[in-house]
Structure 1
């Protein structure tokens, strides 16, 4: 769910083109908020409070910015599909105006490697390294795979209890638990967006996966959140086929070690079965605030 801020910086959910301080998102009326995670602003994007994470009122959950990076990477290489994307959260991402820049590291005919950077002003807040492959028909049968999850309609409605603001990422997502009890460390859930990633544009299957996948550590959380945090500094997603439909299935396991390192391991699903995997490296600490 990305990193907590080391120092609070004010964000903004409205479009602004100058350097004046933005209004605190806590002060905004929900009727003023666009029904999307981001609003286009020229060649940049303005985050709305639907991106807000659990650790700060002015910083984003890791899912939406990860998906915004994936969006730029997909657009850079038509005819290729992203097989693996690794997002490093370098700094807390503010709820403000952001830009994405993409660099080609290797432009092969069958495999490409691209690097996308998420910028707040001139500062790099997050970056994503992607491996892309050119798909082609192959006469080969898939081996046996994990069974599909029970469908969302059989799940229990759920909202993450550790968000402090009522209008945040968790409210912009519909979540249903289909196996296990929250807090046990092994839980399966379905998630889908209640709003598009970018206003006025369709959300791609990979973008939907990234918006949800950063919640794996939260779905399978097994810590006492009033005493501890388990922050992921990264998110790696590998997909072997595209998501079908709006629902993203997360079959999650969280592991914590006494030296403060953890791992969230998530099998990604759609309604037909597994589509890939997500891994999050966790920093486990006692709360100091």
Structure 2
């Protein structure tokens, strides 16, 4: 079973696999991020300009019950080499998630490609870890994690979403990977989530390469301040090495 079923061109029904971690009666935001990424890519495909997504920024405006949602896409800035588009997820006409994507015309920079970001251990060198030992919800049960924990709030891990984004509909490797962009906040916690709440308000992704393969790698550091704020900083990896970054701002609530 997929995370969502399409009801019409812009409306989708979440399945049980989207059940949340903080509240099992609400949708986990991670699968919705994957679905919205898919819809942003569909909008790009319609214009057939060949642009690629360089940045995705998601602002979480509210919670989503396990009920149908709708998605609206609009262009904020058109151009010959860059464009900015926006997608919004609605529940009963209430906006709950909004994303902005910078689209960039690709150029051949093969002879310039490289990064100083360090790789993480390969998949077969990491033991299986069950995030359901900490988190509730059916979404958490739908992902597979292999992790090396260095200390609370610091870990390297590989993740795979075992369910497709949409039932009977092909999505890109980016959209499937996007179902995992929100998970760093829960994969190496600094505090017991049964005692301290630390939900994230956003997910901001920068990519210099598109993900490939089923598994997505993460190198995550979690920081808590003394003022109720926190930040997750993650380097993203695929099987070939680092591909980008994810950051999340946290509100810490004892």
TM-score, normalised with respect to structure 1? 0.82
Of 76, 82, 87, which residue of structure 2 is paired with 1:111? 82
Quote how far apart the aligned CAs of 1:139 are.
5.2
Of 199, 204, 226, which residue of structure 2 is paired with 1:258? 226
Comparing 83-92 with 131-140, greater Cα deviation is found at: 131-140
For 1:204, the equivalent position in structure 2 comes to: 172
Deviation above 4 Å: which 4+ runs of structure 1? none
Quote how far apart the aligned CAs of 1:244 are.
1.1
Q: How many residues align?
A: 248
For 1:247, the equivalent position in structure 2 comes to: 215
Comparing 136-145 with 241-250, greater Cα deviation is found at: 136-145
**In 2, are the aligned partners of 1:185 and 1:254 still within 8 Å (CA)?**
yes
Q: Secondary structure at the match of 2:42?
A: helix
For 2:139, the equivalent position in structure 1 comes to: 169
Q: Deviations over 1:149-197 (max 9, x none)?
A: 22222211112233234xx1111111110x325x611101100111101
For 1:57, the equivalent position in structure 2 comes to: 24
For 1:227, the equivalent position in structure 2 comes to: 195
For 1:100, the equivalent position in structure 2 comes to: 71
**In 1, are the aligned partners of 2:59 and 2:98 still within 8 Å (CA)?**
yes
For 2:3, the equivalent position in structure 1 comes to: 37
Quote how far apart the aligned CAs of 1:67 are.
1.3
**RMSD (Å) for aligned C-alpha atoms:** 1.4
Map 1:69-218 onto structure 2 (within 5 A). 69-78=36-45, 79-138=50-109, 140-160=111-131, 161-165=133-137, 168-177=138-147, 179-181=148-150, 184-218=152-186
Quote how far apart the aligned CAs of 1:202 are.
2.5
**In structure 2, C-alpha distance between the alignment counterparts of 1:171 and 1:52, rounded to whole Å:** 9
TM-score, normalised with respect to structure 2? 0.93
**In 2, are the aligned partners of 1:213 and 1:250 still within 8 Å (CA)?**
no
Extract unaligned runs of 5+ from structure 1: 1-34
**In 1, are the aligned partners of 2:61 and 2:95 still within 8 Å (CA)?**
yes
Change (3 A) 1:56 1:139: closer
**In 1, are the aligned partners of 2:19 and 2:25 still within 8 Å (CA)?**
yes
